[in-house]
C-alpha cells in the first residue's frame, strides 16, 4: 500500500484550493429542468421564499426553518438521505471543513452497514454556494474542492435555481460511490494485517465449515487492475479472488513482512519478480520492504518471497500523477515532484530498479537516517527526502559503499537504459550481491563494479 502522508487541511487551505465552476457546469440542466422532482421542489422552494424573510433571521433558525418547512414538505422522508448538520462535530468533517461545516449533508443509507461518500451544501442563504469534497482520483493524498459561483444578481432567483438543482440532481453528480456489502460467507477477524493510504488488509475466514485463515484486502478504489496483474504474473498459484469491486481475497494463509535477513538473501528472487512484471510492461512503483511478504508453501515445506501491492502500478509509456513510494523513489521523480507535486510523470523501468536498490540500502544504514527519512515522507517533503539521501552518502568519510555507486549509475543513465542493458546490469550486480550489500568494500569489489559499468556504457 502506498505510503501515508498528512492530509489534514486548514480553513485557509480549503479556500485557496477551491475549483470554482458555474452551476451549469456542475449539473446537466437540460435533463434536470424536465425532471418532475425538479418542478415539484422548485414550487415548494418558491413558496417558502415568498413567506420567509431572509434578512431578519439568524443563520441557524433560517436553516432549521428551511429543513422543516421546505424540505420536509417536498419529501416527508427526505431525512433518509439528507441530514441537517448544524453544529455537527464529526472528526472527519471537522478535519475537512474546519469552520465551514456543511449545513446540509446528502447521504446514502446513512448510518447503515452500506455507506457512500457524502457531499455538503455550505450556505448561509446569503453567500450561498454548492461544495463537494472528494479524494483526487489520481492522488489519494490530495482532496479536490469544487464550489459554485454565484451566477445571478437576484438573490431569490439564484437561491431557487441553485437549491433545486442541488436537492433533485442525481446522486452520481456528487461523487457518490456506493459500497455494497461483502459476500455473506466472509467473516473479517479482528486482526489488521496492514494499512496504507489506499487500503487495509484484514485476516479473515470463509464461513463454509473450514477454519482456514486468509487475507482480505479492502481498497478505496477498484481492485480489478491489481487482481488482473496477479493473474498475469502468477496465474492461479496464489488463488486470488475478487469478491467485491473494492476487495479481493488471498486464499492462502496470511504472510508476514519479509525479514531483513531473508530480504538480503533472496534479493535475486525479488528482482526476478520485478523483471517479470517489466517483461509484461508493468511498473510496480511502490517497491518497499513492507510490500514484500514471506508466505509458507506447504508443498515445498518452506517460505516463499512475494512482491505484493500492485495498486500503484502503471503500464509502460503511461503519463500520470505520481502516487507510488516516496521513501525509495528515484531522484528524478523526487526532483520533479519538488517542482510541482501535481505534475504528470512518465515512470521508467529504471525507476523501479532504483527503488529496489534503495530498499536494500535502507536495511543497511543507521537507524537515525531511517527515522529522518520517515519524517520527511510523512511531511510530504520531496526536497527533504533528497537531502536525507545526500546526508546519508556524505556520512561516509571514505569512499561510499558500492550500493550508492550503483544507484547513482542508474540515476545518471536513466534515459539511456534499454531493457536488455538494464536487466544485464541488475543481473550481474546481484550475482555479486555479497559484495554489493557490504558497507565496507574491498578493492576487488570496486574493480568488479567499475568493469561492469564500463561494459554497460563504454565511455
Strand partners, 320: 345
Q: How far apart are CA 49 and CA 45, in angstroms?
A: 6
N- to C-terminal Cα separation, the chain: 40
Please give the backbone phi and psi of residue 448, each rounded to the nearest 5 degrees, phi first: -60, -50
CA of 371: how far to CAs of 291, 335, 390, in Å? 19, 21, 15
CA of 306: how far to CAs of 222, 227, 258, 369, in Å? 22, 15, 9, 27
CB count in 10 Å sphere of residue 53: 8
Closest CA to 82 of 110, 61, 63: 110
Neighbour-count burial of 100, counting CB atoms closer than 10 A to its CB (0-12 exposed, 13-18 middle, 19+ buried): middle
Q: How far apart are CA 189 and CA 196, in angstroms?
A: 18
Q: Which three cell numbers stand for residue 267?
A: 534479493
Q: How far apart are CA 290 and CA 406, in angstroms?
A: 23
Name the 3-class secondary structure at 208.
Answer: coil
| 217 annotated as ligand-binding | yes
Closest CA to 136 of 265, 320, 305, 306: 320
Binding-site annotation: residue ranges: 217
- Binding site for ATP: residue ranges? 217
Amino acid at each position: 500500500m502506498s505510503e501515508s502522508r498528512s492530509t489534514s487541511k486548514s480553513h485557509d487551505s480549503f479556500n485557496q484550493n477551491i475549483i470554482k465552476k458555474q452551476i451549469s457546469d456542475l449539473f446537466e440542466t437540460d435533463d434536470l429542468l424536465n425532471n418532475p422532482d425538479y418542478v415539484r421542489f422548485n414550487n415548494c422552494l418558491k413558496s417558502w421564499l415568498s413567506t420567509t424573510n431572509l434578512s431578519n433571521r439568524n443563520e441557524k433558525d433560517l436553516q432549521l426553518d428551511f429543513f422543516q418547512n421546505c424540505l420536509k414538505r417536498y419529501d416527508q422522508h427526505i431525512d433518509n438521505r439528507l441530514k441537517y448538520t448544524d453544529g455537527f462535530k464529526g472528526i472527519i468533517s471537522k478535519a475537512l471543513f474546519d469552520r465551514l461545516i456543511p449545513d446540509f449533508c446528502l447521504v446514502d443509507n446513512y448510518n447503515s452497514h452500506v455507506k457512500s461518500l457524502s457531499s455538503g451544501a455550505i450556505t448561509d442563504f446569503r453567500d450561498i454556494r454548492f461544495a463537494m469534497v472528494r479524494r483526487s482520483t489520481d492522488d489519494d493524498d490530495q482532496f479536490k474542492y469544487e464550489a459554485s459561483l454565484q451566477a445571478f444578481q437576484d438573490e431569490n432567483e439564484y437561491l431557487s435555481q441553485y437549491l433545486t438543482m442541488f436537492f433533485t440532481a442525481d446522486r452520481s453528480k456528487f461523487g457518490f460511490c456506493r459500497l455494497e456489502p461483502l459476500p455473506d460467507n466472509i467473516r473479517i477477524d479482528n486482526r489488521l494485517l496492514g494499512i496504507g493510504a489506499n487500503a487495509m488488509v484484514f485476516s479473515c475466514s470463509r464461513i463454509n465449515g473450514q477454519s482456514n485463515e486468509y487475507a482480505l484486502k479492502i481498497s478505496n478504489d477498484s481492485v480489478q487492475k491489481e487482481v488482473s496483474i496477479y493473474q498475469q504474473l502468477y496465474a492461479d498459484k496464489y488463488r486470488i479472488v475478487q469478491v467485491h469491486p473494492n476487495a479481493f481475497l488471498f486464499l492462502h494463509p496470511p504472510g508476514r513482512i519479509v525479514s531483513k535477513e531473508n530480504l538480503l538473501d533472496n534479493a535475486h528472487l525479488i528482482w526476478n519478480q520485478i523483471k517479470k512484471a517489466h517483461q509484461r510492461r508493468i511498473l510496480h512503483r511502490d517497491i518497499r520492504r513492507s510490500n514484500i511478504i514471506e508466505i509458507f508453501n506447504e508443498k515445498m515445506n518452506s517460505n516463499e518471497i512475494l512482491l505484493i501491492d500492485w495498486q500503484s502500478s502503471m503500464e509502460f509509456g503511461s503519463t500520470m500523477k505520481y502516487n507510488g513510494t516516496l521513501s525509495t523513489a528515484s531522484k528524478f521523480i523526487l526532483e520533479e515532484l519538488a517542482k510541482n507535486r501535481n505534475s504528470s510523470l512518465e515512470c521508467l523501468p529504471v525507476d523501479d530498479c532504483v527503488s529496489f536498490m534503495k530498499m536494500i540500502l535502507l536495511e543497511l544504514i543507521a537507524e537515525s537516517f531511517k527515522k529522518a527519512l520517515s519524517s520527511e515522507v510523512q511531511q510530504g517533503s520531496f526536497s527533504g527526502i533528497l537531502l536525507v539521501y545526500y546526508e546519508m552518502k556524505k556520512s561516509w568519510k571514505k569512499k561510499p559503499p558500492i550500493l550508492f555507486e550503483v544507484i547513482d549509475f542508474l540515476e545518471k543513465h536513466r534515459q539511456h537504459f534499454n531493457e536488455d542493458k538494464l536487466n544485464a546490469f541488475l543481473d550481474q550486480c546481484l550475482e555479486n550481491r555479497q559484495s554489493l550489500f557490504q558497507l565496507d568494500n574491498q578493492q576487488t569489489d570496486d574493480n568488479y563494479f567499475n568493469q561492469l559499468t564500463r561494459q554497460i556504457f563504454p565511455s
